[in-house]
Amino acid sequence: MSNIIYFDNFATTSLNEEIFNEMKKFLIFNYSNPSSLYEFSQKSRVAIEKSRENISNYINAEKNELFFTSGGTEADNWALMGLTLFKGRKNGHIILTAFEHSAIIETAKFLENRGFDVTFINPNKEGFIDKKDIVDAIREDTILVSVMYVNNEVGTIQDIKTICSFVKEKNSNIVFHTDAVQALSELEIDVKDLNVDLLSISGHKVHAPKGIGALYIKTGTDIENFIFGGSQERSRRAGTENVAGIVGFSKAIDILRIKREENVSKRFALRNYFLKKIKENFENYKINGSIENRSSGNINISFLGIDKEMLIMSMDFKGICISGGSACSSGSVENSHVLTAMDIDEELKNSAIRISFGENNTFGEIDEFIIALKEIIS
Ligand SMILES: Cc1ncc(COP(=O)(O)O)c(C=O)c1O
């Protein structure tokens, strides 16, 4: 598969070799269960705790505020379920943006069917949430506000610090969660500065393996434990730890610490080149969402009159991977709930594709994409 052109880095990223080598030590040699009593298991235990310290440090959290999960989906589920049903609540009000990842939307719908009220706040056509809409939706019984940091389809970045401060000003008892899964590769995340209570991250968007993530839980946040059956994660999330995944995630953070800004610049350069080439070669297209305040690697673009599924399949035939939206829904013919929430025209939605560059993509790959696109469209 070496001649694949992979422009779907928002779906997942390749496992970095350096990270894999670090993980291998804990898959093949130090394979002990960290909960066992003998000396051998201490290697795994120490590796987990060092990783926790490293990752929490990176987002300016305390070590005991970071809990490993199986990924972003689980962290998002924990945030919502842990404040509502698991807490023994039978009702209450939740505020979400209408263009959250399905891990949030579907969990909220589940809660809606069990007696909770959910208000979905629409972004504007550019892909931004107005803090006033969030604040106006707050009620006496609002338990939680959840606003994603970087949208996974259009890449727009929300001003989480300001939105959170307005929510807290209106009612400091409301728990504020942000899904920062797509933000980790792009932004410097400082949970203390943002003043959020809960924050979800995931490893496989930053070249760590799939199946590892974490939920930051600010000290004092009244959230119920999530998985029962063992004392792992201080009894809050039971189950033998994914030691290699945790170590890999930590290594990915080491690399981000050094390379994040450089990677962002590389992705910006790729996107600018792409946009220039598109402008030179095509007329009937529209970029969905703002190009300002948008994650560096992301483009969501509609080629008018070109059906997105046909385009994705034709590109696939040429070995080019692009997406019709989020990875979780890309197998479906349904239009994107993100673009629907942004009130994007039906015709644009039918042809909207997501291209997400990684820092390892090249200008030459973009040239190949342009040639392929011309052939397909003609
Ligand atoms: C914004 C966002 N939240 C949550 C997730 C789910 O994360 P994971 O794949 O680690 O379960 C994703 C993955 O695409 C995402 O983009």
pLDDT digits (tens, 9 = 90+) for 2-21: 589 999 999 999 999 999 99
DSSP count for the chain of H helices, then E strands:
12, 12
How far apart CA 361 and CA 13 sit, in angstroms, is 11
Measured between alpha carbons, how far is 253 from 238 in angstroms, rounded to an integer? Answer: 24
- Tokens representing 36 are 């066992």
Atom of ligand 1 nearest to the CA of 202: 10
Name the residue of 70, 77, 152 whose CB sits within 8 Å of the most ligand 1 atoms, as the mutation to test its pocket: 152
pLDDT score at 2: 59
Domains of the chain: 5-13+260-377 (3.90.1150.10), 17-254 (3.40.640.10)
Distance in Å, CA 200 to ligand 1 centroid: 9
Residue 335 confidence class, pLDDT cut points 50, 70, 90: confident
25-83 pLDDT, tens digit per residue, is 999 999 999 999 999 999 999 999 999 999 999 999 999 999 999 999 999 999 999 99
Beta strands in 218-321 (DSSP E): 285-287, 298-303, 320-321
Q: What is the model's pLDDT at position 245?
A: 98
Q: How far is the CA of 42 from the centre of ligand 1 (A)?
A: 31
Q: Which amino acid is at 196?
A: V
- What residues are in contact with ligand 1 under a 6 Å CB criterion? 71-73, 76, 101, 103, 148, 152, 179, 181-182, 202, 204, 213, 326-327
* Token pair belonging to 295: 């994650």
Question: Distance from the CA of 15 to the center of ligand 1, in angstroms?
Answer: 16
Rg (CA), the chain: 21
Which atom of ligand 1 approaches the CA of 204 most closely?
10
| pLDDT value of residue 327 | 55
Burial of 67 (0-12, 13-18, 19+ CB in 10 A): buried
Per residue in 103-160, pLDDT tens?
999 999 999 999 999 999 999 999 999 999 999 999 999 999 999 999 999 999 999 9
Say if residue 185's pLDDT is above 60. yes
pTM: 0.97
Q: Which residues contact 187 (CB under 8 A, 6 or more apart)?
A: 149, 150, 157
Task: Name the active-site residue from 138, 238, 269, 328.
Answer: 328
Active site residue 164: no
Residue percentage of the chain with pLDDT more than 70: 97
Atom of ligand 1 nearest to the CA of 71: 10
Give the percent of the chain with pLDDT over 90.
96
**Ligand 1 atom at shortest distance from the alpha carbon of 328:** 14
pLDDT of residue 332: 53
| Mutation probe of ligand 1 site: the residue of 182, 186, 330 with most atoms within 8 A of C-beta | 182
Q: How much distance in Å is there from the Cα of 366 to the middle of ligand 1?
A: 26
Mean pLDDT along residues 202-215: 98
pLDDT of residue 131: 98
Ligand 1 pocket: which of 15, 69, 146, 205 to mutate (most atoms within 8 A of CB): 205
Distance CA 216, CA 99 (A): 22
Kindly report, residue by residue over 241-300, the tens digit of the pLDDT. Answer: 999 999 999 999 999 999 999 999 999 999 999 999 999 999 999 999 999 999 999 999
pLDDT of the residue at 124: 98
Tell me the pLDDT of the chain averaged across its residues.
96
Closest residue to atom 16 of ligand 1, CA basis: 152
Average pLDDT over residues 339-348: 96
- 3-state SS of 56-104 is HHHCCCCHHHEEEECCHHHHHHHHHHHHCHHHCCCCEEEEEECCCCHHH
Where do we find the tokens 């998002």?
Answer: 76
Residue 192 to residues 75, 78, 161, 254, 293, Cα–Cα distance (Å)? 19, 21, 10, 20, 22
